[in-house]
A and B are shown apart, each in its own frame.
Chain A
Amino acid sequence: MIKNYLTLALKVLRRKPFYTFVSLFGISFTLMILMLITSMGDAMFGANPPMTDVNKMVFLPQAERILQFYDTTYVVDSVRMDDGRMRYDSTANVREGGMNNSTGNLAFHFLDQTLRGLDRVASYTFYSNDGFVDAYLDGRKLTMSTCYTDADYWEVFDFDFLYGQPFTADAVAGADKVVVITEVVAREYFGEVTADVIGREIALGRERFTVAGIVARPYKDDDSINGDVFMPYTTIDNRKLQSDNISGPFNAVFKAEDKAHTAGIIDEIHFIAETYDMSGDEDYEILKLTAATATEKMAAEIMQEDDLRQAKLLLFIPLITLLTLFVALPLINLINLSVSRVYERRSEIAVRKAFGADSRSILYQFLFENMVLTVIGGLIGLALALLLIRYINANDLLGIVRLAFSARVFVYFLLLIAVFGLLSGLLPALRMSRTNVADALR
């Protein structure tokens, strides 16, 4: 019986190429776009290597130093009411003025002194990755972004090492000239991504580094992991590291023992900043460190909004609304198409009933037609999504970020479309299956 329905469905779909094409196009294209959006969203917000533990991480997106200065002081007589008698009691000073501030990252020395040994932190890393270095190769100049960091960096971030190893704490302590490079750099500089690259030298600026490891491109878009070459921070000039300025090129990421502890870590960092003795700073009096979870940091960056809660709302409410509409519109179209198609076949339903079909077989028939469409459309959508993601990855259309294909999300969307397909086909079919045969055949 199932085979009958299946062959019948295929026959009908073959005989209505335009309808079939439009339906398949709708289903597969919707799926493909949804998959692409989800993949991009996943690269931004998801927990993917090398940030599998992103939900346990606390970032320092911004350090702000503030000076409030007062250029005018008003002296006001203040009146105190006492025992029903009024008298001048004292004078109060009211100050007016302005504010200077400076935002940026932090100096290594400051991080080293103040942010080590926080409670509930499983591992943490300090890194500086806002610089660039040039390498010259056959008259070509390769400009690479640098990341100077410690050995714990490889503990916090689970980079996928294609070949070789991360550099060790010993290498950092000894200021060894070793480097971890991305597969892109390996391909560009050495012309190959193989184990042979390990141990070879790469000239970065005026120095030569030995390649210790090659990492795969990240499945995650984040500025804490987007370096091209990673070196021990100790290879930076020691005088720069020991500068007792608060601001500098370094940043920190803390990985909590558990996701629930991130709020506590954020509070502790804020407390440390509030109570920090700023007497050593010539220009500013107040230190404000913004500590944030990954989502808050992302929202603040995209929305250019300092208030983290506000930024999250501003980003996600429109984003979710938009995504819902995006899913709803093609689905409504599919329903429309399917409904009108069922009504168009009123006389077919009547004929089938006249020749002995009961309501259930009519329902099954439409169910199968919808299922066949969904499955075929789903397979085409799957192929399209895979091709598109591969194309984007192969051509570096999103920078170094790689898009991952999530089978789980694909199945969710396929189910969603199947459910809507069923509803859109079944409800009218259910109504039609109850229509009076005599009326429909008149």
Chain B
Amino acid sequence: MIELTNVSKSYRTDTIETLALQRLNLSVPDGEFLSIMGPSGCGKSTLLNIMGLIDEPSEGSVVLAGQPVTSYNGSKVARFRNEQLGFIFQSFHLINDLSVVDNVELPLLYRKMGGKERRRLALDALERVGLSNRATHFPNQLSGGQKQRVAIARAIVGRPNIILADEPTGNLDSHMGGEIMDILTRLNTDLGTTIVMVTHDERMARMTHRLVRLSDGERVS
């Protein structure tokens, strides 16, 4: 369950104050696959970052999995992100110095877990996205679609309850984008993972349970 109440976010530069989100209310029940759409600069990514605890709201409260996360300090937020959240980015953000399986293992490094166990879970996650044969490759040996599948494996390896995807198909052609959507849909149905996805693509949005539209920092539907 994601519960945003009266969330506002403003960015202040030297001279002007920009309002990215205005008194936004949104609640996402467990197991929902929600998509967020809107023109560029409407605050979609800001909203996602606030849900992912990598940005703080200027006003309002965020409750994730029943926990009042807005009041958490640095290391508690880190732990919460590690256990409850998984991120998928438009430009993948894999670490090029690490092999595919090491990239997937990354979230588990910050848990108390043995190396063998980590490796096993990482290979499971790769299996789920159909890339177990690429485990020892490096990111720059992969296609865009494969990179995004690795990123998904990384997002799900720690079994988070919530996955936050920021335009996961934005850098991919429609065929690869379709594959990614299939994987996300299966995650949602098989594991019951809550997924919040920002997208520009109506077709992708139609594949989700519910669509929320933003415009100028306000919810329009």
Binding site for B on A (CB under 8 A): 3-4, 8, 11-12, 15-16, 347-348, 350-361, 436-438, 441-442
Contact = CB atoms under 8 A, between A and B. Distances in A.
Contacts of B209: none
Contact of A358 (B75, B86, B94, B97): B75
A352 B82 CA distance: 10
Given A11-B98, A355-B81, A356-B79, A437 B54 contact: yes
A356 B160 CA distance: 12
Interface of A is mostly: helix
Given A355-B154, A356-B79, A438-B55, A12 B89 contact: no
Interface of B: 45-46, 49, 52, 54-55, 74-75, 78-79, 81-83, 86-87, 89, 93-99, 102, 106-107, 109-111, 115, 138, 154, 158
A8 B75 CA distance: 21
Contacts of B89: 441
A26 B188 CA distance: 52
A438 B78 contact: no
A357 B96 CA distance: 18
A347 B89 CA distance: 12
B110 A436 contact: no
Nearest to B109: A4
Nearest to A12: B97
A78 B111 CA distance: 102
A43 to B, nearest CB: 45
A353 B87 contact: no
A356 B158 CA distance: 10
A351 B109 contact: no
Which among A4, A15, A358, A437 has the highest number of chain B CB atoms within 10 Å?
Answer: A358
A355 B80 CA distance: 9
B107 A355 contact: yes
B78 A353 contact: yes
Contact of B74 (A8, A15, A358): A358
Contact of B106 (A15, A350, A355): A355
Contacts of A354: 52, 54, 81, 87
Nearest to B75: A358
A351 B82 CA distance: 11
A359 B109 contact: no
Given A352-B110, A357-B110, 19 more contacts: A3-B115, A11-B98, A12-B98, A15-B98, A348-B95, A351-B93, A351-B94, A354-B81, A355-B110, A355-B158, A356-B107, A356-B158, A358-B75, A359-B74, A361-B110, A437-B54, A437-B55, A438-B55, A441-B93
Nearest to A350: B93
12 contacts: A11-B102, A348-B97, A351-B95, A356-B78, A356-B81, A356-B111, A358-B78, A358-B79, A358-B110, A438-B55, A441-B54, A442-B45
Which among B55, B86, B106 has the highest number of chain A CB atoms within 10 Å?
Answer: B106
